[in-house]
Chains A and B, each alone.
Chain A
């Protein structure tokens, strides 16, 4: 009897995926040519599932600055900030992020996952309540599990449902922290944040927004959904990641709350892990500058997102409720989705396969994340490949012969996100 026996059902699913073709969770890219192209099994492949929204992973200024600091300060910090001390870059990055968000305080974490793990488990203690959107990312659920607060779910993107649950807790003395995401990672839908903020105010609760997929994507200055919805004053804590729009790795929390700095000695996922290497912080600092100085990246990102969303929708595929940089196609059957995904890969397009139960509505998803660095030609190739595979596999066969209308290009789409979440089997 192996200690791994409990994973037998998961193992079975995993093996089934291998049998169909390439296992989507074992992808290896031998080379990366650009933010949008890599080499997979000798084939140049369009990358459409990497959350590289602004395409900054190959930004020359970020690379040059990072290389210089790498030579000056070495490859790593070899420990935590508590034990080994902070580097100038840690403080600089925190100062820059706080200034960008117009907040008093910032803490950086070694990953976005750890930012959620740290903030949720520390802010809400015994006797407090965490109210989570039912479609929350795994890092939010795991942060909730690590802490000692009571955890309550509310129905996805439903302010009335949240209000009802807060009302049931109104006589409980503990603090209530509501956690939502700017853009949900599976379907690309945004939270109705204005309405959520009103509910939060009414109930005297606290509000945290995870802007992982919306930083650099939504809002006039790219600060995310809170900026776009005009409710930044109601958001007590913003968490996010450097590994999407900022093209590196790490996470953060910004806030105006008095006494924030006590978290540096109270938040275990901050205290007991190695801090970010100096070269990573430098590229992130540069990327944050690029994000602010180049709003045209956001314009291009949304034009690309619209082109893909409109193209796929026009063909008759089932897409999410809003055109956003996350564009997901829902299919009816998991094995069909696995086969479809393999055909796309063989045709030179890599995106994410998301399987139930990690998906909303329990439908398998072919999940794309568009980048500002994609060319219209790349997006058009993707749409054409979807059409070819869709007709070959009978997904589109039953449809009336409807031709794709050319999307109106170059129009900046009025940013508004809508549906999204987990990626892999067992992600929740």
Chain B
């Protein structure tokens, strides 16, 4: 379980690294829109890539819950767990 959570986090950070400049720090409390200077459209497009990476469906109301990287890891992790159960 913990292994998978850390894998989720690692993959999300790796994805973010591709759209934000290298010098910008990304930690658990990083506010995704404000600190990474992403607009709502960029965030929604990033979600498309996460959906493909993890083979899950992140609906827009789930996206609305996300503020920080930790929030995003939690949402993705829940969806991954749900998928494994089904």
Contacts and interface: CB of A to CB of B under 8 A. Distances in A.
B49 to A, nearest CB: 10
B40 A151 contact: no
A164 interface: yes
B19 interface: no
A357 B44 CA distance: 12
Interface residues of A, number: 18
Q: Is the interface of A mostly helix, strand, loop or mixed?
A: mixed
A428 B47 CA distance: 17
B59 interface: yes
B86 A165 contact: no
A357 B69 CA distance: 23
Nearest to A359: B41
Most interface-central of B44, B55, B60, B61 (chain A CB within 10 A):
B60
Contact of B45 (A129, A134, A144, A150): A134
Interface in B24-73: 39-42, 44-45, 47-48, 51-52, 55-61
Given A168-B55, A428-B41, A155 B60 contact: no
A168 B40 contact: no
16 contacts: A134-B44, A144-B60, A151-B61, A152-B58, A152-B59, A152-B60, A153-B48, A153-B60, A155-B48, A164-B52, A165-B51, A165-B57, A168-B56, A168-B57, A169-B57, A171-B86
Interface of B: 39-42, 44-45, 47-48, 51-52, 55-61, 86
Given A151-B59, A153-B60, A357-B42, 19 more contacts: A129-B59, A144-B60, A145-B60, A150-B59, A150-B61, A151-B60, A152-B59, A152-B60, A153-B44, A153-B47, A153-B48, A155-B48, A165-B57, A168-B51, A168-B55, A357-B39, A357-B41, A362-B41, A428-B40
Interface of A: 129, 134, 144-145, 150-155, 164-165, 168-169, 171, 357, 362, 428
